[in-house]
Amino acid sequence: MDQLNEIPGDRTASRFAYAAAATGAVGVVTLGAMFAVEVPRGGPFVFGTITDATGAVFNVLVIPVILQVQRRVPPAPWTDPIKWITVSACAAGAASSALLVFKVLDFNSSTSISIASISLQALWFFLVHGRLRKVEGYPRKLSRLGRFIGGALLVGLPIAGAGYAAQSPDWLKTAVMGIGIALGAASWLAWPYWYFLAGRHLGHKVDLGAAAAPPQTAH
């Protein structure tokens, strides 16, 4: 496993990453439960409310991780703007989900803000990890997974939208939407796992296999 060179703030960011991973995993499970159980029945949306609440918490927890990872990105004219755009998107997504839970914001408005927030975070994943994959010492698994998360969502959302809006036979609409939804779902499922891996690397956990290897002795 690639080991990051430690910089100040890594271990604090690691704790936020683990918390984000756990919260995101709960959100994935409750979102699946909502579509499997509550949507066919038309409610009540208990799982849906839990999903919104975890989404608000998740968006807050990821901000310190994004800022810490960003410190390792080779600078370019766009890297600082994308950092603050992404952090702002996380804050907007958190506020939107929280306001929906407390019934201050309607579902359609909150959903639009959440999709925009997720899309901007996906753009951050894709662009930033395109640069980080060239950084010596940055874990290749993190950069590959980050690129996949960002790319799959950025491709999947437009495909699903095009399928929904297309004036075509139902079977074709369903097929196109299915491709887009599958890509988006794959990205969504991988999202918490990336934060779990980030937690391990930012926490500078020792490779236990390597640590357990017996010392070589001369004969």
The model's pLDDT over 160-191, given as tens digits with 9 standing for 90+, comes to 999 988 888 888 989 999 999 999 999 999 99
Stretches where the chain sits below pLDDT 70 are 1-2, 206-219
Whether residue 151 lies inside any domain: the answer is yes
178 is a domain residue: yes
Whether 210 is covered by a domain: the verdict is no
| Domain span at 117 | 10-205
The predicted pLDDT at position 137 comes to 86
Residue 35 lies in a domain: yes
Check residue 208 and give its pLDDT.
40
3-state secondary structure the chain: CCCCCCCCCHHHHHHHHHHHHHHHHHHHHHHHHHHHHHHHHCCCCHHHHHHHHHHHHHHHHHHHHHHHHHCCCCCCCCHHHHHHHHHHHHHHHHHHHHHHHCCCCCHHHHHHHHHHHHHHHHHHHHHHHHHHCCCCCCCHHHHHHHHHHHHHHHHHHHHHHHHHHCCCCHHHHHHHHHHHHHHHHHHHHHHHHHHHHHHHHHCCCCCHHHHHCCCCCCC
Residue 6: its pLDDT value, please? 85
Residue 104 lies in a domain: yes
How much is the pLDDT for 164?
87
Q: How many domains does one find in the chain?
A: 1
What does the pLDDT read at residue 84?
A: 98
Res 212: pLDDT:
42
Which pLDDT score, from 0 to 100, does residue 2 have?
Answer: 66
Domain presence at residue 117? yes
pLDDT the model gives residue 170: 87
Per-residue pLDDT, 48: 93
